[in-house]
Amino acid sequence: MKHTYKITGMTCNGCRSHVEKSLNEVNGVTKVSVDLNKEEAVIEMKEHISLERFERALEGSNYNIMMPGNTEQSAGQLMKHSYKITGMTCNGCRSHVEETLNTVSGVVNAAVNLEKGEAEISMKEHIKLDVFEKALQEHGGNYHIMLPGEEQAKHKHQSEDKTPKGKGTGTWYCPMHCEGEKTYDKPGDCPVCGMDLVEQMDLSSPSSEGDEYTCPMHPEIIKDEPGDCPICGMDLVPKEPQKSAEEKGYKTLLKKFWIAVAFTLPIFLIAMSEMIPDNPMYDLADMKIWNWIQFGLSLPVVFYATWMFFERAYRSIKTWNLNMFTLIGIGAGVAWIFSVFGMLFPNFFPDQFKTEWLMG
């Protein structure tokens, strides 16, 4: 198989020799012949080698290799390349990647397949892989684009760097993989979707007898070994997390729960008392006073006990990864703001909004 490429940046025979030597070192190349005057390289290879691999061979120099642009344009043909995409977990990710790649100058059409993790890009002339990678980084998310042959090696390198030694030893990740292979050294929330980070397990060590794994989103799924959820594809996590890792978080959440109950129960009783004829609460204080009492009781609930839900909702909206936290944050937040506004500006709303009008 023989292909001819355009070479730019050569000014002397030394440049020609350097380019020829660099291209000859690419695996699969059998012979390279570079013509300084024509600025061309004729490359013979056992099987087709993508242009990106030749670009990598010349990376760091002032030489560039490309397809003969005039030939492509005169024939009215488009170049089409396939790439591997990592970091996608849902159709929203796929749409984001596809839209981003289509914004790159020179791209005619980009089609992304979520199941295969592939992108097929049609372009007027060759575009360097770094241009696509830069576009994905600038538009947010932790998506990466690479040549098909490089995916396995890159993932292997990442796992060697990031996978903890031993089972349940303090390395945490988002089960939705919102940031690809990114890990954390302590528990917390995913900065993208807001879900609880889960501890990464060392799958090379055998599971203890009786261990069970479940899906964070579908607890009805229970398996006796690690894997993926058959419903949503998320990583299964231990059904009974290691106490040493989860105990602190559990105690904090339990404390917030009881604080929320303690302050919410009086609000509930005051609010429901309006359903009683001749409300006895009004014998103790006027409605305006009770409104301010309810407002004061709600502050610890909103700004301490349940504040994490609003934080996660904000992150999900900011990153446009809408989820259940978005629903909770907007629903509860709008209701609380509406109540405070109604208390501060009671005459703003018509009488039909008031309780005494409905009961009258």
Asked if residues 164 and 75 have their Cβ atoms less than 8 Å apart, the reply is no
The pTM of the whole model exceeds 0.85: no
pLDDT value for 163:
41
Extract the runs of DSSP E, i.e. beta strands, from 57-210: 64-66, 79-86, 107-113, 118-123, 144-146, 172-173, 198-199
* Chain CA centroid to CA 207, Å: 29
| Inter-CA distances, 283 with 68, 94, 274, 343, Å | 90, 61, 12, 20
| pLDDT band, very low/low/confident/very high, at 324 (cuts 50, 70, 90) | confident
pLDDT value for 73:
43
pLDDT tens digits, one per residue of 146-175 = 887 665 445 444 444 444 433 455 677 777
Instruction: Name which CATH class applies to 2-73.
Output: alpha beta
pLDDT tens digits, one per residue of 78-123 = 778 888 998 887 777 888 889 899 999 889 889 999 888 899 898 8
Measured between alpha carbons, how far apart are the two ends of the chain, in Å? 90
- Sign of the CA dihedral 179, 200, 160, 155? negative
CA distance 218 to 210: 20
Q: Are strands 213-214 and 222-223 parallel, antiparallel or unpaired?
A: antiparallel
CA distance 83 to 148: 6
CA distance 41 to 273: 87
> 237 pairs with which residues across the strands?
214
Average pLDDT over residues 336-360: 77
Token reading at 189 = 């929330």
> 228 pairs with which residues across the strands?
235
78-154 domain in CATH 3.30.70.100? Answer: yes
pLDDT tens digits, one per residue of 66-79 = 877 544 444 455 77
